């Protein structure tokens, strides 16, 4: 073993800036995708429970398709194969901006929203149906009853699995390096290419992902303790 570790090369100067830039972009694409996933997942869950057969079939097809196909394939599809799906104005707008970022966000959003929709549906089923019936009896429509009565309670129940999905989304964002998004893993790969210090570069990026995971896990633990205490009293 004649390998001499050089942590200073990765932790200072230009390469440290690359790591920071990659981390910022990872958090950025993860945050945007998470917000859109929550919106999309809520819509899909409501459609699934609407009782309108075509909407139920559509939402079921959505969740089953995106949950059971590899995320990497979906990323490649939105980047390489989605061109025929968009009208010309949308294409021009996408290509004028950061098309790689947009493709990554779309892929992460549709993939994660399918899981969130199922988590939210499970949360809704844990709430007594009498609450929905009572809401309808007061004159609220199905959508209003879901938005104002049922879904707020369901979201509170499914916070731990939502946090887990958020963590999965952050880790899944590393796959976006395959289409040129310069997130954390991409930057670690670039440092390895320039310096041949793959051990140091990927150890630092791994530890950053680990720190994010530990922070999220701590958040889940604290929420569970608070939630159980609230139920007890």
The pLDDT assigned to 223 comes to: 73
Share of the chain above pLDDT 90, in %: 53
Across 184-207, average pLDDT = 93
84 or 175, higher pLDDT = 175
Fold entry, domain 7-232: MetI-like fold (1.10.3720)
pTM of the model: 0.89
In the chain, where are the structural domains located?
7-232
The pLDDT assigned to 231 comes to: 52
Compute and round to an integer the Cα radius of gyration of the chain. Answer: 21
With vertex at residue 213, the alpha carbon angle to CA 210 and CA 215, rounded to the nearest 5 degrees, is: 110
Give pLDDT tens digits for 20-43.
999 999 999 999 999 999 999 999
Please tell me the distance from the alpha carbon of residue 189 to that of residue 177, in angstroms, as a whole number: 9
38 or 220, higher pLDDT = 38
Give pLDDT tens digits for 132-143.
888 888 888 888
């Amino acid at each position: 073993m004649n390998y001499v570790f050089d942590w200073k090369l990765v932790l200072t100067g230009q390469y440290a800036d690359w790591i920071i830039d990659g981390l910022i972009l990872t958090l950025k694409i993860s945050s945007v995708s998470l917000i859109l996933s929550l919106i999309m997942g809520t819509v899909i869950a409501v459609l699934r429970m609407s009782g309108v057969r075509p909407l139920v079939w559509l939402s079921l097809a959505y969740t089953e398709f995106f949950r059971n196909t590899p995320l990497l394939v979906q990323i490649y599809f939105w980047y390489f194969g989605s061109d025929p799906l968009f009208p010309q104005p949308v294409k021009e707008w996408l290509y004028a901006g950061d098309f790689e970022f947009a493709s990554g966000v779309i892929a992460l959003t549709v993939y994660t929203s399918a899981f969130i929709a199922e988590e939210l549906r499970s949360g809704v089923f844990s709430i007594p149906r009498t609450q929905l019936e009572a809401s309808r009896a007061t004159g609220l429509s199905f959508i209003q009853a879901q938005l104002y009565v049922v879904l707020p309670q369901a979201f509170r129940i499914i916070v731990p699995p939502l946090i887990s999905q958020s963590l999965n989304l952050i880790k899944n964002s590393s796959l976006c390096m395959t289409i040129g998004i310069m997130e954390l893993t991409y930057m670690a790969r670039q440092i390895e290419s320039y310096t041949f210090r793959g051990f140091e570069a990927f150890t630092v990026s791994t530890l950053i992902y680990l720190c994010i995971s530990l922070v999220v896990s701590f958040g889940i633990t604290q929420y569970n303790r608070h939630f159980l205490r609230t139920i007890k009293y």
